[in-house]
Structure 1
C-alpha cells in the first residue's frame, strides 16, 4: 500500500500545524506534497493525494469527492493580513476598477467578488495574473488581490497605501470568522486505517502548534520578513479550529457563493469519522 500523501500549502499560516510533523516532534509516515492552494485543489481532485488542505470553495464545489477532517481549518477572526486587496486609491474611488487576482487562490477570489458586490458594491472587473511579476515589470494595476507570503511582502508597498483586508471586512460584515481552507480526505481513501491515523496525527499537530504558538512566532521572526511583534499579531488573528462558529461562517459563505452564482448548490457538510 502506498504512503499517505498529504497536500501541504506552502504558506506561513499553516506552519503551526506542519512544523511538529515536519520536524519529527510528532511521529508520522506522511509523504508531503507542497504547493499553492489552486495546485493542491487540482491534484486532490485528480486523486494524486489522499489528504490535503483545500480551498473552502473547492470542497463546496466538489463535496461529493471529499469528507471534511474534524475540527481542522485555516481561517481568520479579524484581520487576516495575508489575504488583502491593495490599491493605489481609497476604496470609494475604485468604482468600476479592475482587480488583478493572484492565480494561486480560489476561495479568496470568490470572497472578494462577494464583498465587492454584496457588501461594498464597486462593480469591479477581475483578471488573473502574478502580482509580483507585474509590479517588477513596471506595470501598476489599479488594485491587486494578493494572498499568502506575497501579501505579507506587498502590504507595505509604497505605491499601494490602501489595504482592504478580506478577513477583517468579512467579520465586520457578518460577525463570523472566515474559513479560507479546510482539510479533506478523498472518500475513496477514507476507509484506510493509515489515512485515519494520519488525520489523528494532523489534529495532534494542530493542538501542539496552538499550545506552542510562541515558539512558532519566534521561528517565523527568525526566518521571514516579519519581526516577533508582527508574527504574534499575524498568528493571533488566525483560526485553526472548525467548531460551531467557524462552521456557521462557512455556511454563510456558501449561501453568498450560491447567491452570486459561484456554486450551483449548497452541499451538506460531511465529516470523516475517526
Structure 2
C-alpha cells in the first residue's frame, strides 16, 4: 500500500477524496510520507519504492517493460493548464518534470520550463503587473493538436484490486474542497483561496476517450523526436 502523490495544488481534489475514502491504516501512514514532485516520484515508482501513485505521464511509456498498469485517472488540461509554462526569455529544463521537459521539445519551444505551484505563482505575479512573458504549454498543445494533454497519470504496480476500486470511486465523485483545507493550501503555497479554486476549474482528472487520444498523440511525437521516457538506469 505504498502510494506516492505529486505534492502540488493540482491534486487537492484527490487529497480531499482520499481523506474520506475507506483505506487500510498503512496506506495513510505511507501516503503522508511519499509526497514529492513528478520526476522524483518517477524514480520512486520505477525502482519499486512505491506501489502506485501519480507520476509524469511520460513514465507510462515504460508500462510494458516494467509490468505496471496506467490508470484512466490523471492530471488533464483540456484548454489551458496555467501551472506548466515556458519562460521564453530564459533557458533550461525543470528538474521536477520529465513530461513537461519533453513537451517543450515536442512543441518546438525555446525557453525555460517551470511547473507546479511555482509556475502558478509566476503567472499570477505577471497578471498583477499586466504582463505575459510566458507560454502556457497546455494551451499551446491544445491549439496545435486539438486534443487535451495529460501531464500526470496514476500508475499501479501492486494491490490492483484495491486501487481499481479507488480509481473508479474518484473518477465518479464530485469533490468539494472544505474551507479549512483551502486555508491550509493557501498558507503553504502562497496562492490565495480564490485563485486556487479558479485554477482547479481548468483541470480534469478522468482520462476519457479524447484525453486518451491526446496521450497517444504525445507518445507518437516522443517516438518521432526520439525522446526517451525515464528509466531506472
Give the ranges of 4+ consecutive aligned residues of structure 1 lying more than 6 Å apart after TM superposition.
Answer: none
Q: 1:197 to 1:62 in 2, by over 3 A?
A: closer
Q: Per-residue CA shift, 1:114-134, capped at 9, x if unaligned?
A: 111xxxxx6x4xxxxxxxxxx
Displacement after TM superposition at 1:85 (Å):
1.1
Q: How does 1:71-110 map to 2 (within 5 A)?
A: 71-88=72-89, 99-110=91-102
Q: Per-residue CA shift, 1:117-173, capped at 9, x if unaligned?
A: xxxxx6x4xxxxxxxxxxxxxxxxxx4311011111222256x84120011111111
Q: Is the 8 A contact 2:9 2:196 kept in 1?
A: no
Residue of structure 2 in register with 1:151 after alignment:
119
Displacement after TM superposition at 1:205 (Å):
3.4
CA distance in 2, matches of 1:256, 1:217: 41
Q: Is the 8 A contact 1:28 1:201 kept in 2?
A: no
Residue of structure 2 in register with 1:223 after alignment:
185
Aligned-partner SS, 2:226: coil
- Which structure carries more helix by proportion? 2
Q: Is the 8 A contact 1:5 1:51 kept in 2?
A: yes
CA distance in 1, matches of 2:35, 2:219: 27
Residue of structure 2 in register with 1:67 after alignment:
69
Structure number with greater Rg is 1
Aligned-partner SS, 1:245: helix
Residue of structure 2 in register with 1:13 after alignment:
10
Aligned-partner SS, 1:162: coil
Number of residue pairs aligned between Structure 1 and Structure 2: 216
Q: Is the 8 A contact 1:217 1:232 kept in 2?
A: no
Question: Runs of 5+ in structure 1 lacking a partner?
Answer: 89-97, 117-121, 125-142, 265-274
CA distance in 2, matches of 1:216, 1:86: 33
Q: Per-residue CA shift, 1:207-255, capped at 9, x if unaligned?
A: 43xx134x36884366323344423321121120111111100000011
| TM-score of the pair, normalised by structure 2 | 0.83
Q: Aligned pair 1:212/2:170, yes or no?
A: no
- Which structure carries more strand by proportion? 1
Question: Runs of 5+ in structure 2 lacking a partner?
Answer: none
Residue of structure 1 in register with 2:197 after alignment:
232
Q: Aligned pair 1:259/2:227, yes or no?
A: no
CA distance in 2, matches of 1:12, 1:223: 7
Displacement after TM superposition at 1:86 (Å):
2.2
Q: 1:262 to 1:217 in 2, by over 3 A?
A: farther
Q: Is the 8 A contact 2:76 2:203 kept in 1?
A: yes
Q: 1:44 to 1:172 in 2, by over 3 A?
A: same
CA distance in 2, matches of 1:39, 1:166: 21
Aligned-partner SS, 1:145: strand
Q: Is the 8 A contact 2:77 2:203 kept in 1?
A: yes
CA distance in 1, matches of 2:170, 2:76: 17
Q: Aligned pair 1:184/2:184, yes or no?
A: no
| TM-score of the pair, normalised by structure 1 | 0.71
